[in-house]
A and B are shown apart, each in its own frame.
Chain A
Amino acid sequence: MRRAAAFLALIVSAFLTHAADYAPVVPGLKLAFPKDFGAHPDHRIEWWYATGHLETPKGPMGFQVTFFRLRNKAADANPSRFSPTQLLFAHAALADPAHGKLRHDQRIARGFPALAETRTGDTDVFIDDWSFKRVDGKYVARIPGDGFALDLVLAPTQPLLLQGDAGYSRKGPLPSQASGYYSEPHLAVTGTVKIGAQSIEARGSAWLDHEWSSQILAENAVGWDWVGLNLEGGAALMAFRLRDKEGSTVWASATLRRDGKVRVYAKDEVRFTPRRTWRSPRTGVTWPVEMGFEIAGEPWVVTPMMDDQEMDARGSTGTLYWEGAVTATGPGGAKGRGYLELTGYSERLRF
């Protein structure tokens, strides 16, 4: 699964009552490309979520580039060009241990031709001058943010990783609680990172998730933990769990691709155990920044590149989550790098 950032949760819940109005993701979903690289505008929610590690002359860094699309059927009756039938959000962050906390920025817009679109047919999403587009099989991300900018090309080195049952990914006890979901692990990254006026050459590896759904949250879920890891030797691991108010697991799943073979783990085979927490001096929220998890009894541990990768955009979008670059160790000396996402650890978020 991948992560509607927390601010989306409430919007989604506001729309839950009308879930039936939106195209459902049903068992037996068959993905077709390049069409499914593009947007699925009739589904309630969709995201393209790229995270990765960079090597730069200034040392290692982590980055996140996310575009969300949210369908609002309530606005369909209004023929106005401005009618907010689609809402677009984008978040970007740069983790730089030398800086000690995230540099981040965001964009929000209603879908509007030529200004903010999530196009169908192939990956092509943009909000003003922020864009994420698939060109000649590679993803091009242009993010001129406030105080930093990302200008990156993400080139696939492996086949697509279809999550769940060939791209049909269950999120809860009901078959309709599911998403269309594929990943692109081990993307080779080249490009530049700009901090202030300084341009820095960067290369590294990234992970892309593209996911769409109309009913993503079980009703008792308040948050989730997610991890996506590019392992040494070309293997890729994704694991998530949905938590309820008490912290118990509502749903969980994991996917491991090693040597071209994909293994999907069911809810009972995945167990998350926080190992070390960090309390944000800004928000007072305690985050389990070092996370342990078991997949079919085999232990994994992820350790953050830096503790403070808290993303606080409550002032503008009502969002507070932790999205951090991590290194991982696993059974048999497995090593890897990736991202850990933690949501729903603060008070119940509101939009």
Chain B
Amino acid sequence: MNAALVATLLRGSLSSNRWRSLLAVFCIALGVALAGAVNTLHASALDEIDRAARLLAGTADYQVKGPRNGFDDASYAPVALHPAVAVASPVIELDAPLPGKTETVRVMGIDPFRAARLQPGFLAEGSSSRGDDTPTLLDANAAWLTPAALARFGAKVGDEVVLGGPKGEVRLEVAGALPALDGGGPLVVMDIAAVQFFFDRIGVIHRIDLRLVPDVPREAALRDIAARLPPGTALTRPDEAAMRTAGLTQAYRVNLTALALMALFTGGFLVFSTLALQAARRRQEFALLRALGLTAGGVRAFLALEGGLLGLAGAVAGTVLGLAASRAMLERFGYDLGAGFFSGTGNTFAPDASSLAIIGVLGVATAAAAALAVTRPLASLDVAQALKDRHVDLPSPPGDWSWPLGLAAGAAVAAFLPPAGEISVGGYLSIGLALAAAVMAVSPASRFLLDQVPASDAPLRTLARAQVKSLPGHLSAMVSGIVVSVALTAAMAIMVHSFRVSLDGWLSGVLEADLFARAAPQGDAVVFSKEAQARMAAVPGVDRIDPIRFERLTPEGSTGLLTVIARPVDAQLLRGFQADPPAVPPRNGPLTAWISEAAVDLFGWKPGQDITVPLAGSRVTFRVAGIFRDYSRTWGAILVELADYRALTNDTLANDIAIHLAPGADIVAVEAGLGRIVAQVPGAELHDASFIHDRALAVFDRTFAATYALEAAAILIALAGVTSSFAALAWSRRREFGVLRHLGLSRGEVLRLLSLEGGAAGIIGAFLGLLAGGAVSVVLVHVVNRQSFHWGMAIHMPWLGLAALVGSVVLLCALGASAAGRAAVAREAVHAVKDDA
């Protein structure tokens, strides 16, 4: 077959099936776009983390890193004096709010004399060479800003910029720009002593950057340096920053990619059913080609090429779409895909070409594989027979229950497999098997279901029943498409609804106070001092306040993150956190902590166990009193009594404050009184519980908006597929319709027959899809979610939504079938019968 002929045939086939081809391309494009966007967002985020870490570290080989709230700066001198250390540069880091805005900026307090020996970029333009009134390096109010930070403030060198701090606004003069650190994001660099003072963090540092003396034995030196460090700090290399983040986000990323692959394979399945029907319709065409001398292999190659071209178009369109979408998301939302892992600036766009290529090839391969699956029976067709014969069916799937039952059993077993790391391999395998079982069940299930429908005298119903029950191959392929789409949509809907209802209930319990003063969302620079807390407690109408303090650290011997939530703990709070058991042990026993479900999974901790946590530079042992639910973090958390935390750490600051009103207090007056105190802490907010509750749910809905959009797309694709399938089917049944017209059926009756058939197919598909979707949602909620995100939840059925889903699928199937049939019965019955001559 020469190239010109191939091109002609391709042009003919693709243009005569323009809409179906477009649909197939769209399916593939969607999967490729989603996978590509997830991959690009993640690659960009990691790239920025990596570049920023390397840039800011300069020539440092190692970094001493401590918990989120920092560590005692008394550790600095012993480390700096270690003979293997050539340069030690202490750093304090905070995220400070821009007053009146929701944005924060990273404040880095350094000793410029030390930092400049590791990274000369810290002493850049503007730090010298201006008039006598230029603030010197050590002027407490002088700040050096990276270009990104200057842009964020809309400021230039010499201007004043204002940051929110715990003691009020911090007014700084921009003494210079740091263009060499541009890749570090929006940074405000100040003297370390000034940051400690203005942000009320005397005695605290977050990092010590180290350059080691060359030619000393590294291992021994590092062990020795580590021995001089307090518990809770660790020695790491700057180039490990991105790797560690990648480790933390692995589960999250794999899950999103799995979602994308599901879209891709759904697309592949729809390509298959589209091409199958198309190929069936073109059976004569292929027979003619064979008669004209084309080999069976040639026909298959031709179809694979056609499928591959569709896949290629989809992959190219999907890659472009994915890049555009990730770019737009970066600009609007930053890297944070809703899980709070990244707080980058979003100014790095670093698509990973090799990953994108793999995803694209996967898209092409899916389409080509679908095409090949279609061509298998076609290639072996009997040419003479096919030239005469108008029978256009695909081979029917096996009609018995052995396959679906076997696959379903496999799915059930797979759900109990242990996860590989944080990746729920068993869960995804189980989902795949469950979907396959549902597809294989289409044929026996239609027979079984229609057997339950009593035979009717009405000829149309009898005809429709016969047609669907015998379930020819093309109808089976179409119903399978409906099953897969409905199953995935229903599963996602059930999971998201279960999550939302669970979160709603949890929020109601956790937000048990009347009002909340919150500094936490505005970075960690803003906190409530003990004095501010006392003034809030003294506001008339306030019954009591519960200060809440967060710390984030890495337990020894682990690389994971652990959040410490310190707040007054009582039985009511424990019930709110859905703790088990929700009771406070007597205070005279050992120190107690409640651990989140994630902490159980990630650190292997159990109730009754003694756990060791590095707090304020010493190892503290807590007895695990119970497990609580934490929908805020996918990493581990422990809940401890504030009084214990304060006694252990001498840290009296608070990130958030829960305020309980006295009975009968005038909430408006109390809010006004508290508001005056909160207003003195720039960046902090005061809200009532319902506001925070609603805002949390709004964030949830926004995060899952992409999921809703995907669901809608899946339904639309499935329905478009159904309509297109019916059109092909109706066309191929012209002769049958002609006969029916001859036998006296009116055109309307033929169309009604088609509607009935479509409706019946829709009902069967929707029913099986719901069953499979229910099973998949159980796996998603109890296996995938638990293993990947480490939180438990109960299944809640969105009945109304599911009913709407089933109703619209059945209705649209019926309407689609009849609309598609309209064209087929339009011609005169005589023609249709003659057509057979």
Contacts and interface: CB of A to CB of B under 8 A. Distances in A.
A114 B113 contact: no
Interface stretch (A10-18, A26-34, A45-53, A161-169): A10-18
Given A13-B132, A110-B111, A350-B128, A83 B197 contact: yes
Interface stretch (A74-82, A234-242, A338-346): A74-82
A14 B136 contact: yes
A110 B196 CA distance: 15
Contact of A109 (B113, B123, B197): B113
Contacts of A14: 132, 136
Interface string A277-294: 000000000000000000
Contacts of A265: none
Contacts of B111: 82, 109-110
A178 interface: no
Given A75-B193, A112-B77, A81 B203 contact: yes
Interface in A103-126: 108-110, 112-115
A81 B202 CA distance: 8
Contacts of B197: 77-80, 83
A318 interface: yes
B193 A78 contact: yes
Interface string A308-324: 00000000101000000
A10 B192 CA distance: 23
Contacts of B203: 80-81
B80 interface: yes
A81 B90 CA distance: 12
A79 B138 contact: no
B138 A87 contact: yes
B222 interface: no
B439 to A, nearest CB: 67
Q: How large is the interface on B (under 10, 10 to 19, 20 to 34, 35 or more residues)?
A: 20 to 34
A72 B193 CA distance: 13
Which of A80, A110, A350 has its CB near the most chain B CB atoms (within 10 A)? A80
Interface residues of A, number: 28
Contacts of B132: 10, 13-14, 350
A135 B114 CA distance: 29
B196 A80 contact: yes
Nearest to B196: A80
B193 A80 contact: yes
A82 B140 contact: no
A318 B191 CA distance: 19
B646 interface: no
A75 B194 CA distance: 9
B129 interface: yes
B151 interface: no
B397 to A, nearest CB: 75
Contacts of A180: none
B644 interface: no
A81 B114 CA distance: 15
Interface in B70-84: 73-74, 77, 80-81
A82 B128 contact: no
A288 B202 CA distance: 50
B288 interface: no
Contacts of B391: none
A351 B128 contact: yes
A350 B129 contact: yes
A351 B136 contact: yes
A82 B192 contact: yes
B194 A78 contact: yes
A80 B73 CA distance: 10
B138 A318 contact: no
Nearest to A81: B73
Given A14-B136, A109-B113, A115 B81 contact: yes
Contact of A84 (B74, B123, B134, B138): B138
Contacts of B194: 78
A78 B140 contact: yes
Interface in A1-57: 10-11, 13-14
A275 B194 CA distance: 49
A83 B138 CA distance: 9
A42 B285 CA distance: 102
B831 interface: no
B90 A82 contact: yes
Interface of B: 73-74, 77, 80-81, 90, 111, 113-114, 116, 123, 128-130, 132, 134, 136-140, 191-194, 196-197, 202-203
12 contacts: A14-B136, A72-B138, A74-B140, A79-B197, A81-B73, A81-B193, A109-B114, A114-B81, A115-B81, A318-B128, A350-B130, A351-B128
Given A11-B136, A81-B73, A109-B113, 13 more contacts: A10-B132, A13-B132, A14-B132, A72-B138, A77-B197, A78-B140, A79-B197, A82-B111, A82-B193, A87-B138, A108-B113, A115-B80, A350-B130
Q: Which 6 A-B pairs have the closest CB atoms?
A: A82-B193, A80-B193, A80-B196, A78-B197, A83-B193, A84-B138
